[in-house]
């Protein structure tokens, strides 16, 4: 279960996943052997037991590489993956060329060593949720105050994804309130995040229109209490969606897909719902303000807008970190506390597979988890399987 | 010069252009003979001498009809134009089916009759700029306070376009200030509106990046003092644009085109300009907020976004009327006064042709003015050529 090169809380070396964009236009992933970090006074060292591969991790892991060109080298224990980056996309990653970067936004583990501060010392032996990058590693040092202590009886696997998805789902509902909307639309809605959002909306009495692609995803969401589920593969999708928008009055959507026409369809359906109840014709469309936020890029192709939704609309990017900065530490802390309290219920995640760091750099594993398909989420266990 | 059916300020009938969406999926344009309006106490009746055909008029005139199907009937004096609306676009105009609607956002003319109020009486004989729809008509009654009295010596032709383009151009600069940007990008920049915007920016010391499609448009803008002009047909367009954005720091763009990839290119160039000066690589792109407003649809095709510009961006619709409502009457009045004072200089418009109401319903004229090409703007003279 442990790596021969180190012992808990001691010195030695440990593994860390690295990703590098080379100047000749490839991305290279490998495992680096790095010294086990030693804590500063206000820091702790966490033995990372579990770290999910979220869609938000893939941008750093693979950049804009064409993963159909990915090839393996190295050994089973020290695999190396190389993939080509299309020339016209190198501009996007110009800032990271030649830099070997750790990856993994969040995870959970056990505090095995602590600095001298009382806050740090109080965490020794505790299982904590952690965020801040570099979690695809056996050990991670970070500020004691960055750790979210998980409730007694919570495992690291259960707490591995207690930041990104939970805070994003809570952030959607907070954004709705802050920006004066009263109901929500969410795409890729059967994801772990989508299920959390449905549970939050049920608890908070917020109406949610779920958009999915498959009948089994419809069933899954109805099984956890969803009222409005629209299947974008259905022939009646637009009518179903318009009806759900008339029923709920949702004028705010969060879209994980990004590419294609789905976002445009949602705005068009919102406009149709608004004009269905409007009293007077306006050549510029309804005066109902419609907001679409793109928070992911499951489809990396271009976004296509038909603009058949008047002039009162906005589309923007939505990211968790700027949102948390905007609401401020205290408001964000309240959200974090809610996550800790409901980590086994509202914010429970499910994984298709647990893999080691070396397994994360196998072509067959990458082929699955890089697709970001709903129900195919992988969990890295950095201190297992080596 | 005058229509036989009426005399100035008197009773009788006069012509008014009408547009109707029929329930069998066509749009029909014709000239209706309507009673010359009589003013209420606080109203005046204006003999409309000139009314421009702005891009913002075309939505009401032709709706979403496919104008390649347009056919003529009626007589030379009472022409009728009919065009088909694609079935899937009928939803957009469901609210106006069967309603014969007047058109023409703005114009100018002479007050020939006034109600009893002192304000109305004071306008008799004055040349005024007017806005509010229904200007493609020989006479228009409206509230005295809606009239903008043009400075002595200003003709109706000179004052015909003193609302839509001037207030839109001023609105762009005001929006820039209100939303915390410091420089602007504008597309279709050699238009009447674009030239006004360049003059305003020169007067106000605001840096403006003009995007045009043709070398002669570049020259035209440089001729009125433009510093930054980028030609989207040039091979070096993206480099030129990025350099202009580095030079100006513009993070706000107003786009008249709508369809295609130009808006996406502008956001991508803004992102490149932001990262060119950034100190640290961020996998999510720069933290520089980039705003694109689409205020027109010269290209009615879909908007295509490559999303290669991080997550800190927004795209929205921009319309004059909601903007004026947002800033309030007093602020809007200041803008109107500036327009009146500079109507022969900053806000001068040029027209390719003057046409009568009947000529506005000729297929060859429609083929030109419905294209909204820069330098092909038409002016309707409702009381001439009949």
Antiparallel, parallel or unpaired: β B313-317 and B378-380? unpaired
Collect all residues of chain B within an 8 Å Cβ-Cβ radius of residue A95.
275, 278, 280-282
For chain B, the average pLDDT equals 93
Q: Tell me the per-residue pLDDT of B99-128, one tens digit each, with 9 for 90 and over.
A: 999 999 999 999 999 999 999 999 999 999
* Among B255, B276, B283, the residue to mutate for chain A (most A Cβ within 10 A): B283
One DSSP character per residue, A286-301 reads -S--EEEEE---SEEE
Q: Please report which confidence band the pLDDT of residue B166 belongs to, taking 50, 70 and 90 as the band edges.
A: very high
Question: Which residue in B67, B62, B71 sits closest to B18, CA to CA?
Answer: B62
One DSSP character per residue, A293-353 reads EE---SEEEEEEE---S-S-EEEEE--HHHHHHHH-HHHHHHHHHHHHHTTTTTT----SE
What integer pLDDT is reported at residue B264 of this predicted model?
97
Q: Which residue of B has its CA nearest to A89?
A: B308
Tokens of A19: 């990703």
Q: Tell me the per-residue pLDDT of B336-380, one tens digit each, with 9 for 90 and over.
A: 999 999 999 999 999 999 999 999 999 999 999 998 887 889 999
Whole-Å CA distances, A66 to A70, A228, A233, B149: 7, 36, 27, 63
Antiparallel, parallel or unpaired: β B258-260 and B228-231? unpaired
pLDDT of B210 higher than 70 = yes
Span B69-78, mean pLDDT?
Answer: 95
Q: How far is B153 from chain A, CA to nearest CA, in Å? A: 35
What secondary structure letter does DSSP report for B93? G
What integer pLDDT is reported at residue A310 of this predicted model?
87
Collect all residues of chain A within an 8 Å Cβ-Cβ radius of residue B277.
none
* Contact between B137 and B49 (Cβ < 8 Å): no
Q: How far is B224 from chain A, CA to nearest CA, in Å? A: 31
pLDDT of B241 higher than 90 = yes
Residues of chain A with pLDDT under 70: 1-10, 279-281, 283, 385-386
B118 compared with B93, residue with greater pLDDT:
B118
Q: Which of B95, B282, B302 is facing A275, going by the closest CB pair? A: B95
Question: Which residue in A266, A262, A147, A172 sits closest to A213, CA to CA?
Answer: A262
pLDDT of B188 higher than 70 = yes
Residue B68, φ and ψ in degrees, nearest 5? -70, -15
Q: How far is B187 from chain A, CA to nearest CA, in Å? A: 18
What integer pLDDT is reported at residue B380 of this predicted model?
98
Q: How many CA atoms does the CB half-sphere of A376 hold within 13 Å?
A: 13
Q: How far is A234 from chain B, CA to nearest CA, in Å? A: 18
CB contact under 8 A, B281 and A95: yes
What integer pLDDT is reported at residue A10 of this predicted model?
54
What integer pLDDT is reported at residue A20 of this predicted model?
97
3-state secondary structure of A223: helix
Q: Tell me the per-residue pLDDT of B20-39, one tens digit each, with 9 for 90 and over.
A: 999 999 999 999 999 999 99
CB contact under 8 A, A283 and B314: no
CB contact under 8 A, A317 and B312: yes
What integer pLDDT is reported at residue A285 of this predicted model?
80
pTM of the model: 0.85
CB contact under 8 A, B275 and A306: no
Q: Which residue of A has its CA nearest to B59?
A: A283
What integer pLDDT is reported at residue B10 of this predicted model?
54
Q: Please report which confidence band the pLDDT of residue B8 belongs to, taking 50, 70 and 90 as the band edges.
A: low
The proportion of chain B whose per-residue pLDDT surpasses 70, expressed as a percent, equals 96
Q: Please report which confidence band the pLDDT of residue B239 belongs to, taking 50, 70 and 90 as the band edges.
A: very high
CB contact under 8 A, B59 and A310: no
CB contact under 8 A, A283 and B319: no
Could you tell me which residues of chain A have a Cβ less than 8 Å from any Cβ in chain B? 59-60, 89, 91-96, 99, 258-259, 264, 272, 275, 278, 280-285, 287, 294-295, 297, 302-308, 310-319, 322
CB contact under 8 A, A59 and B96: no
CA distance B18 to B21: 10
Q: Please report which confidence band the pLDDT of residue B3 belongs to, taking 50, 70 and 90 as the band edges.
A: very low
Tokens of A211: 């958009």
Number of residues that this document lists for chain B: 386
- Name A315's Cβ contacts closer than 8 Å, sequence gap at least 6: A263, A267, A291, A292, A293, A294, A303, A305, B314, B315, B316
Q: Which residue of A has its CA nearest to B60?
A: A283
- Name A20's Cβ contacts closer than 8 Å, sequence gap at least 6: A27, A28, A29, A30, A98, A99, A100, A101
Rg (CA), chain A: 22
* Contact between A18 and A119 (Cβ < 8 Å): no
Collect all residues of chain A within an 8 Å Cβ-Cβ radius of residue B306.
302
CB contact under 8 A, B92 and A308: yes
């Amino acid at each position: 279960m442990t790596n021969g090169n180190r012992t808990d809380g001691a010195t030695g070396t440990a593994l860390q996943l690295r990703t590098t964009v080379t100047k000749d236009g490839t991305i290279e992933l490998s495992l680096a052997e790095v010294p086990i970090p030693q804590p500063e006074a206000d820091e702790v060292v966490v033995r990372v037991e579990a770290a999910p591969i979220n869609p938000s991790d893939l941008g750093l892991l693979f950049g804009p590489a064409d993963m159909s060109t990915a090839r393996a080298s190295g050994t089973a224990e020290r695999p190396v993956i190389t993939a080509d980056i299309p020339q016209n996309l190198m501009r996007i990653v110009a800032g990271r060329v030649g830099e070997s970067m750790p990856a993994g936004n969040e995870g959970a583990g056990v505090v095995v060593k602590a600095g001298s501060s009382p806050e740090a010392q109080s965490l020794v032996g505790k299982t904590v949720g952690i965020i801040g990058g570099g979690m695809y590693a056996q050990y991670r040092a970070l500020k004691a105050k960055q750790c979210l202590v998980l409730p007694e009886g919570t495992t690291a696997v259960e707490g591995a994804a207690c930041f990104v998805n939970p805070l994003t789902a809570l952030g959607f509902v907070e954004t709705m309130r802050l920006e004066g909307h009263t109901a929500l639309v969410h795409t890729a809605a059967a994801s772990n995040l989508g299920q959390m959002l449905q549970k939050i909306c049920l608890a908070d009495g917020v109406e949610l229109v779920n958009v999915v692609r498959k009948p089994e995803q419809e069933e899954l969401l109805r099984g956890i209490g969803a009222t409005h589920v629209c299947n974008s593969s259905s022939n009646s999708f637009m009518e179903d969606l318009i009806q759900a928008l008339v029923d709920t009055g949702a004028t705010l959507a969060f879209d994980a897909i990004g590419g294609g026409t789905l976002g445009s369809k949602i705005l068009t359906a919102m406009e149709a719902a608004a004009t269905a109840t409007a009293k007077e014709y306006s050549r510029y469309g309804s005066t109902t303000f419609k907001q679409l936020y793109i928070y992911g890029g499951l489809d990396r192709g271009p976004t296509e807008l038909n603009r058949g939704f008047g002039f009162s609309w906005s589309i923007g990017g939505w990211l968790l970190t700027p949102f948390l900065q905007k609401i401020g530490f205290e408001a964000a802390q309240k959200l974090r506390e809610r996550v800790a309290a409901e980590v086994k219920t509202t914010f429970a995640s499910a994984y298709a597979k647990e893999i080691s760091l070396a397994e994360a750099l196998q072509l067959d594993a990458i082929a699955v988890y890089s697709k970001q398909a709903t129900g195919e989420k992988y969990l890295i266990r950095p201190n297992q399987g080596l």
